[in-house]
Amino acid sequence: MDHSFHNDLIVIDGLQYSNWNRDIFKQLHAGGVTMVHATIVYHEKTQETLKRVAEWNRLFESNADLIMPIRSAADIRLAKQIGKVGIMFGAQNCSPIEDDIGMIEVMRELNMMIMQLTYNNQSLLACGCYESEDSGVTRFGKQAIREMNRVGMVVDMSHSAERSTLEAIEISERPIVISHANPLSFHHAKRNKSDTVLKALGESGGLLGFSLYPFHLKNGPDCTLNDFCEMVARTADLMGVDHIGIGTDLCQEQPVSVLEWMRNGNWSKEMDYGEGSKSNADWPKPLSWFRDSRDFPHITYGLLEQGFSQDEVSKIMGLNWLNFLDSALQPIR
């Protein structure tokens, strides 16, 4: 397959949580990825988050020929220009700020560009998608959103419950993201989003990153590329093609203990299976057409075959994320 069209694109992956090493960076480079939003925190508190940043500093130092830190949207364009993979920090929970609103600005100064208000549980800021009662955005959450807006940190509601997500869209003065999820109409999972949420997200100028995590897809690991691209096309009709992108949720080379850490943190003495089934107690089998980042061209050409124009594919594969971040990462002075 001729990859020349794909290789010219700015390709942005809206979320990965891999066991980062040089081989994975080489795969990102080989797949033509310009920038990846890397989760550096699940349940880590402030001091532990600082250690994650320090670990990444060492990775940047020892892999400087392949990767570079992203400190602004301009750095994404620079990464494309010089042929490196940009790494943008994000958190999948609000634990890095603990109960201190001042830590939002501190974390932003450490280049944490995106923060989820919740993981799967109720947090100090909002409600997660596994709680039976969705209490919405809390008093602290409302102030935290305002502060995130001020410092140019993106609000992410990927693991949040319906009411909380809709309230965050309403409260935030700047568009928000759902960096890695799929439409509930495509596959029923607590993490996937209703058409009500997706319409509100699109109308507010927000962005959805489609997840390639098999548990979020129809037929799991057997989901076909065609099915995935049909889902993208239907969502483009619902939200507008300017408000969709990719957020693979790729978790490479992670042991099962990391999956358990993601779900249990320090809060549960019992094994939490997320959707309530032991069938997803282990990592899922990968998709045949997306085993790792080297397979990004399959998505590009699958979308073209689905009937998207080259301009539309350019948007979905990265330009929508880039245009969003151009504005979203700018602090309000």
Summarised one tens digit per residue, pLDDT across range 207-233 is 999 999 999 999 999 999 999 999 999
Please report the pLDDT score of residue 230 as a whole number.
98
Region 230-241: mean pLDDT is 98
Asked if pLDDT for residue 178 goes beyond 80, the answer is yes
Indicate the pairing of strand 12-16 with strand 85-91.
unpaired
Please report the pLDDT score of residue 275 as a whole number.
56
Region 237-257: mean pLDDT is 91
d(C-alpha 109, C-alpha 23), whole Å: 29
Question: Among the CATH numbers 3.65.10.10, 3.20.20.140, 3.40.710.10, 3.90.1530.10, which is that of 4-328?
Answer: 3.20.20.140
206's CB contacts (< 8 A; 6+ apart) are: 169, 175, 176, 177, 178, 243
Contact 91, 40 (CB under 8 A): yes
Please report the pLDDT score of residue 329 as a whole number.
97
Please report the pLDDT score of residue 92 as a whole number.
96
* Mean residue pLDDT across the chain: 94
Asked if pLDDT for residue 277 goes beyond 70, the answer is no
pTM over 0.85? The answer is: yes
Region 193-214: mean pLDDT is 97
Contact 185, 220 (CB under 8 A): no
**What residues are paired with 244 via a beta bridge?**
208
d(C-alpha 180, C-alpha 200), whole Å: 17
Please report the pLDDT score of residue 280 as a whole number.
60
d(C-alpha 28, C-alpha 93), whole Å: 25
Asked if pLDDT for residue 112 goes beyond 90, the answer is yes
Residue type, 145: I
pLDDT grade for 281, boundaries at 50, 70 and 90: low
